[in-house]
Amino acid sequence: MLDLIKKSIYLGLGAATVSKEKIESLVDELIEKGQLSKDKKTEAVKEIFEKIEKEEKEIKTKIDNTVTETMKKIGIVAKSEYDNLLKRVEELERKITNK
């Protein structure tokens, strides 16, 4: 369930991110307006992408933390925790039946 929630949110983030063509277009507009020199275009596009990636990682981390905390508050156990407990129970059952 946690993965489904995260994937849904990440899908929305992916749709919101800007394409390389759009960024290049915006940088071209800045060049046309004289706010940026042509020789700085590649550097500007790279810098914008790096900022977008950094912010996207920060948002994903915040989402992960918020979802995890919310699940804990309402008492939902993560699948990984459930799987670990199931393995422990199975191991204990094997030990008991082998005695």
pLDDT digits (tens, 9 = 90+) for 42-52: 888 888 778 77
Q: Of the candidates 85, 67, 50, 63, which has an alpha carbon nearest to the alpha carbon of residue 13?
A: 63
Distance CA 47, CA 52 (A): 9
User: Residue 13 belongs to what domain range?
Assistant: 2-97
> Can you give the pTM of this predicted structure?
0.55
Domain count, the chain: 1
18 pLDDT tier (thresholds 50, 70, 90): low
Rounded average pLDDT over 47-72: 84
Neighbours of 43 (CB within 10 A): 12
